[in-house]
């Protein structure tokens, strides 16, 4: 029974579980079906929405104008005021048809740009997906996503701006182009339109320009690969300017040709071994009538790099920063022989930018370029090592930025070596000992610069420099004085220095503000400004660089009334000089970079070729400074000034103090220098100085006129100024003193007593400063003679109180001298043994003695200026505290 029961129960439970499972399966199928339906609906809605969006975008697409396909549109260049400057395009072109294109070139182009060109109808979904995967796997640029047909459409009708609207219009027009033209015709259009840098467009002209080949059938595999790879970024892969980048791009094309089966791996490897330079012919200079070609060269570079368009064919309106007046003057300076010598191969480059915005106002690409256009541009191409112009960028700028050094910071200029033990020298081989940072930069001392670089550390120095556009991969100790491995351009240096003049804000120099495409689309090409340093760093470097121009190595560039800061620099050959028969210290490059609140200019002078004559003499080394002076005098109206920010404190410092001390009340003006400190780091200790002593008067003489009963006192003084006063002190033998102050060189003493002796001391005074006294004595005839005559007054400044007989109660030094032998006679009734410091605060309170008991302080009374001094009275012996003895400490 129990077994049957269990069986029935189990059968019921099993049946129940079966029903539950069937219910769950039904519910699961229902959910899956609902999800599937939802996905299908979403896809359908997405497709409908996509079609609608595509239709919306292409409704405004430009028409497929065949004239534009066949004939390129010239581009117009405008200056900073919107005035037309030049028209680019319309030159004689070397047009080729498809039958002239060799298979090696066609295969290289197809492998690089569109391997399925003959399989799609203008849009290649497979290629688009493959390009995404290739770029992820092999790196950006391995393959492009657009077909050759799409690129022809983009170059002909549309702006390169990457928007959904432009991509939709590009696809729509590509489909239409494929319907109207054959594949061979479309490939022909592409090969005749693409840009190849240096103003070269079309593959036929490029083959002639780079390889000297007018017949495309003569192209080799590595040459075809180079031409196929350049259009991705023509200037970046220009083999004359960037041979390493060009080789890397050529080799990428060869690898793509292997990948798509056009060549074997062995053929590719053999082609990769061919050096780039061995493929190239001598660089040619395209001839045309474009004005300001050095500036236009930069315009073309910026537009092609940033917008990836062909300025010679795409019908652009290009708005630039060009100041035509400044550009004309720069070219005039370079082509004039007023500053330049006739030395062989002597060249120069000038870059002028707006200090506040970074806008390029003028570019001087070289000397005597009238018949050469788009040649080597000495303003924008790397031309040489920067020399000492690098010091604010790698040394002193970082020291202020990171270490908050003041301009009074002391460095010792002494024999020194690099960390590896190699000696470093200053120019001239001399050492200055302890110098301030300002002095070190003003006179471009190398040893303090290296010490500053070491204190900052190379990583922070590199970081600071690269924020100013220097692009250093690594920096080493020789970089501190300009011995960099990578050459720099004037434009690069102008951009870096402009940041110092612009309160620490850097803007990469630019020549193009915007471009307008034929369809009206605009593209803004202005770079964004960036704060790259604190305002205190910018201002303090600027203030020191003003010292360079006013009183340092850049004095030849000084322009009165102009806020001009700058830094000079020269380089030397070092051990490489022997290759050209030159000495180590011979100079191949001379620089100056200078700036005002309005303009920044970098000027280089050097040689187009290194040879046994390629060394700059003293006169040629001064050329950049004189050119800067000419340029700034002509262009800058002197408006604006470098405003000191609140983060900077300017203080008077006593010269030579280390650490710096504030100048004291008595610090001579000649010992004071005004230096800058980052707020919060300024010194508080004050230098302790005594007032500087003035020279003593000369020729002091006193004569007695018996008829008039007066004493005439006169003297001379060679150092007399409008602020000079003379204090005359007349003391009788009783110790009574009368003081007279005058600007004249003489005084008269009236009502003198017969038989009396007078000692006369004359001091020169200017404010707090005072001279030692000149002293003379005179005895008036008649009267009763003293029983013990004195020894007479000494004229050495130490004993002018002597000789007053036994009644002189002063045993002190009237003028603050040695205080010895004031009372040589020690007469009988000496009333006082006072301390007679007349011109020092050596007394106590105002009344340091008693009139009644005759114990005065022996000093002079407060100076007065009576019209006519009266004869001192003759108090009785013992009244030494009267008149001249009372207020000794007041003086």
Q: Give the residue numbers annotated as catalytic, written as ranges.
A: 113, 388
Rounded Cα gap, residues 352 and 320, in angstroms: 14
Those residues with Cβ within 8 angstroms of residue 183's Cβ, 6 or more apart along the chain or in another chain: 117, 118
H, E, C per residue of 108-170: HHHHHHCCCCCCCCCCCHHHHHHHHHHHHHHCCCCCCCCCHHHHHHHHHHCCCCCCHHHHHHH
Q: Which residues of 379-413 are buried (b: 16+ CB within 10 A; e: fewer)?
A: bbbebbbbbbbbbbbbbbbbbbbbebbbbbbbbeb
Angle subtended by helix axes 221-229 and 265-272, to nearest 10 = 80
Rounded Cα gap, residues 205 and 93, in angstroms: 7
Euclidean distance between the first and final Cα of the chain, in Å?
139
Rounded Cα gap, residues 774 and 699, in angstroms: 8
Rounded Cα gap, residues 228 and 669, in angstroms: 72
**231 exposed, middle or buried (CB, 10 Å; 0-12, 13-18, 19+)?**
buried
Residue 497: how many other CB atoms lie within 10 Å: 27
Rounded Cα gap, residues 374 and 292, in angstroms: 10
**Sequential DSSP letters for 623-689:** HHHHHHHHHHHHH-------PPPTTEEEEEEETT-SS--B--TT--GGGEEEEEEETT-----B---
What are the DSSP E strand ranges found in 737-888? 737-742, 746-750, 757-766, 769-770, 774-779
Instruction: Determine the length of the chain.
Output: 891
User: Is residue 617 helix, strand or coil?
Assistant: coil
Rounded Cα gap, residues 660 and 654, in angstroms: 7
Rounded Cα gap, residues 466 and 661, in angstroms: 35
Rounded Cα gap, residues 147 and 118, in angstroms: 10
Looking up tokens 């180079």 gives: 226
Long-range interactions of 817-823: CB distance < 8 A, separation 24+: 817/772
At 710, give phi and psi (nearest 5°).
Answer: -135, 160
**20 exposed, middle or buried (CB, 10 Å; 0-12, 13-18, 19+)?**
exposed
């Amino acid at each position: 029974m129990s077994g049957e029961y269990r069986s029935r129960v189990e059968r019921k439970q099993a049946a129940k579980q079966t029903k539950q499972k069937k219910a769950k399966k039904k519910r699961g199928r229902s959910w899956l079906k609902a999800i599937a339906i939802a996905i299908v609906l979403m896809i359908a809605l997405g497709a409908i929405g996509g079609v609608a969006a595509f239709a919306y975008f292409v409704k405004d697409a430009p028409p497929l104008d065949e004239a534009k396909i066949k004939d390129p549109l010239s581009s117009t260049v405008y200056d900073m005021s919107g005035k037309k400057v030049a028209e680019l395009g319309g030159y004689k072109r070397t047009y080729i048809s498809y039958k002239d294109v060799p298979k090696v070139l066609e295969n290289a182009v197809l492998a690089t740009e569109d391997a399925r060109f003959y399989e799609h109808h203008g849009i290649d979904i497979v290629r688009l997906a493959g390009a995404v995967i290739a770029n992820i796997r092999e790196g950006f640029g391995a393959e492009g996503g657009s077909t050759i047909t799409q690129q022809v459409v983009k170059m002909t009708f549309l702006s390169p701006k990457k928007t959904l609207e432009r991509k939709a219009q590009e696809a729509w027009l590509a489909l239409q182009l494929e319907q109207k033209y054959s594949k061979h015709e479309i490939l022909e259009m592409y090969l005749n339109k693409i840009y190849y840098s240096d103003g070269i467009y079309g593959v036929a002209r490029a083959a002639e320009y780079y390889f000297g080949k007018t017949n495309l059938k003569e192209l080799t595999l590595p040459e075809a690969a180079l031409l196929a790879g350049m259009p991705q970024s023509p200037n970046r892969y220009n083999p004359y300017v960037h041979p390493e980048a060009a080789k890397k791009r050529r080799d990428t094309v060869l690898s793509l040709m292997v990948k798509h089966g056009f060549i074997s791996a062995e053929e590719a490897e053999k082609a990769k071994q061919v050096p780039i330079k061995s493929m190239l012919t001598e660089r040619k200079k395209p001839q045309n009538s474009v004005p300001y070609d050095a500036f236009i060269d930069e315009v073309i570079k910026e537009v092609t790099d940033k917008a990836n368009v062909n300025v010679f064919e795409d019908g652009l309106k290009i708005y630039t920063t060009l100041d035509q007046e400044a550009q004309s003057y720069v070219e005039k300076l370079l082509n004039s022989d007023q500053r330049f010598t006739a030395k062989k191969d002597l060249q120069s480059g000038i870059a002028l930018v707006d200090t506040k915005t970074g806008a390029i106002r003028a570019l001087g690409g070289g000397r005597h370029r009238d018949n050469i256009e788009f040649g080597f541009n000495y303003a924008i191409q790397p031309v040489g090592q920067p020399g000492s112009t690098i010091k604010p960028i790698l040394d002193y700028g970082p020291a202020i930025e990171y270490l908050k050094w003041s301009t009074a910071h002391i460095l010792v200029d002494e024999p020194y070596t690099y960390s590896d033990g190699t000696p470093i020298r200053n120019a001239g081989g001399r050492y200055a000992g302890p110098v301030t940072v300002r002095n070190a930069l003003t006179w471009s001392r190398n040893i303090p610069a290296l010490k500053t670089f070491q204190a900052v550390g190379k990583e922070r120095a590199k970081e600071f420099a690269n924020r100013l556009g220097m692009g250093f991969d690594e920096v080493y100790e020789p970089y501190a004085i300009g011995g960099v491995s990578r050459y720099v351009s004037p434009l690069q240096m102008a951009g870096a220095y402009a940041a110092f003049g612009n309160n620490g804000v850097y803007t990469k120099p630019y020549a193009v503000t915007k471009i307008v495409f034929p369809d009206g689309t605009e593209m803004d090409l202005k770079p964004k400004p960036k704060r790259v340093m604190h305002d205190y760093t910018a201002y303090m470097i600027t203030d020191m660089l003003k010292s360079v121009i006013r009183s340092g190595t850049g004095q030849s560039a000084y322009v009165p009334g102009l806020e001009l800061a700058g830094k000079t620099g020269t380089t030397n050959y070092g051990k490489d000089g022997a290759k050209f028969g030159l000495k180590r210290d011979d100079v191949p490059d001379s620089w100056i970079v200078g700036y005002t609140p309005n303009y920044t200019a970098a000027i280089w002078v050097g040689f187009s070729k290194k040879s046994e004559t390629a060394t700059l003499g003293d006169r040629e080394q001064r050329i950049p400074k004189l050119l800067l002076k000419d340029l700034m005098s002509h262009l800058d109206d002197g408006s604006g000034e470098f405003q000191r920010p609140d983060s900077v404190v300017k203080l008077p410092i006593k010269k030579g103090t280390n650490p710096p001390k504030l100048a004291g009340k008595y610090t001579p003006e000649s010992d004071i220098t005004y230096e800058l400190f980052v707020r919060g780091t300024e010194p508080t200790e004050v230098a302790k100085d005594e007032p500087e002593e003035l020279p003593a008067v000369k020729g002091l003489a006193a004569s007695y006129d018996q008829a008039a009963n007066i004493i005439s006192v006169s003297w001379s003084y060679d150092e007399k100024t409008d602020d000079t006063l003379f204090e005359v002190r007349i003391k009788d033998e009783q110790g009574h003193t009368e003081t007279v102050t005058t600007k004249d060189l003489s005084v008269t003493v009236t009502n003198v007593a017969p038989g009396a002796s007078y000692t006369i001391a004359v001091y020169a005074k200017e404010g707090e400063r005072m001279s030692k006294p000149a002293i003379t004595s005179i005895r008036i005839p008649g009267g009763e003679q003293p029983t013990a005559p004195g020894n007479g007054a000494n004229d050495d400044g130490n004993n002018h109180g002597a000789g007053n007989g036994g009644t002189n109660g002063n045993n002190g030094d009237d003028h603050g001298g040695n205080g010895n032998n004031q009372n040589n006679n020690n007469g009988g009734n000496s009333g006082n043994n006072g301390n007679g410091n007349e011109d020092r605060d050596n007394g106590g309170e105002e009344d340091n003695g008693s009139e009644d008991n005759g114990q005065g302080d022996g000093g002079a009374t407060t100076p007065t200026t009576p019209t006519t001094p009266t004869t001192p009275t003759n108090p009785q012996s013992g009244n030494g505290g009267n008149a001249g003895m009372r207020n000794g400490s007041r003086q």
